[in-house]
A = this chain, B = another copy of it.
Amino acid sequence: MKTLHIVKIGGDIIDREHTLREFLSGFLKVEGPKILVHGGGKAASTLSERLGIQPRLVEGRRITDADTLKVITMVYAGLINKQLVAMLQNLGCASIGLSGADAALLPATRRSSAPVDYGFVGDIEPQDVNLPVLCSLIDAGLVPVICPVTYERGAGLLNTNADTVAAALAIALSACYTVNLNFCFGKKGILKDMEDENSVMEQLSEKEYLGFKKEGIVSKGMLPKLENAYRSLRNGVADVRIGQAADIELMIKKEKGAGTAITL
């Protein structure tokens, strides 16, 4: 099977123009079929603040109310998605920006309101991804640029975690490709010592991870990324790496020192 590279970038990359440009020029050099999944960044919070939408948090997690969903749709599916597409086109990369509603790419299920009602938040299952449309776009030589605005059939738009979107896409596409999934963020990989930027783990097995998690060594923000990484590996994804956006080219070449290889 052909190899497909899925790369997810978070808000910390999108918010820094130099870092983003550096990432995109690396992403451009990734050969073969590829998909870019992007999160949000500060623009959504900034816009919410400017509009006077008060963030509502439950147990430290933000609630997506109707107004917040509108902001997310505007910022993720509108501003960031189209700016990324335009930047890629300028680099000569034929890309197409999509939300999960487009061509019913990512049908989601609204999360149960019990025990906590997170609002317009959806979860997706890999088997629900619209593979035929996605594959035909890739076959046409286009690079899908996908934002985590999903869609519930019979209802409307939903907000989904971008790491979860990347993992669901990776698992679904493993049916037709050897999938290589890369989570890019600001750090060089998973750090052994949070205080030492150079203490990057070369690899992290699930067993080690569970031990670190128990000891509280892994930072809270990394948990969804890592849970999605192991879920992907258990469901057919060939390779998962977590590393620095600027290193994307090296990560894909599986060069030593470029990110942390996640293993079962």
Contact = CB atoms under 8 A, between A and B. Distances in A.
Interface stretch (A147-155, A178-186, A193-201, A250-258): A147-155
Interface stretch (A80-88, A109-117, A213-221): A80-88
Contacts of A77: 77-79, 81-82
A2 to B, nearest CB: 20
Interface of A: 47, 50-51, 70, 73-79, 81-83, 85-86, 89-90, 94-99, 101-104, 133, 136, 140, 142, 149, 151, 153-157
Contacts of A90: 153-156
Nearest to A97: B102
B89 A78 contact: no
Contacts of A86: 101, 151, 156-157
A91 to B, nearest CB: 10
A142 to B, nearest CB: 6
Copies in the complex: 2
A222 to B, nearest CB: 29
A82 B78 CA distance: 9
A152 to B, nearest CB: 9
A8 to B, nearest CB: 20
Given A77-B78, A104-B89, A157 B97 contact: no
Contacts of A136: 136, 140
Given A70-B79, A79-B74, A97 B99 contact: yes
Nearest to A52: B50
A96 B151 CA distance: 13
Interface centre among A78, A85, A153 (most CB of B within 10 A): A78
A136 B132 CA distance: 13
Contacts of A98: 96-97, 102
A127 to B, nearest CB: 18
Given A51-B50, A133-B140, A85 B101 contact: yes
A102 B103 CA distance: 14
Nearest to A130: B94
Contacts of A74: 47, 74-75, 78-79
A96 B50 CA distance: 30
B153 A89 contact: yes
A85 B147 CA distance: 15
A97 B156 CA distance: 14
Contacts of A70: 79
A68 to B, nearest CB: 13
A18 to B, nearest CB: 17
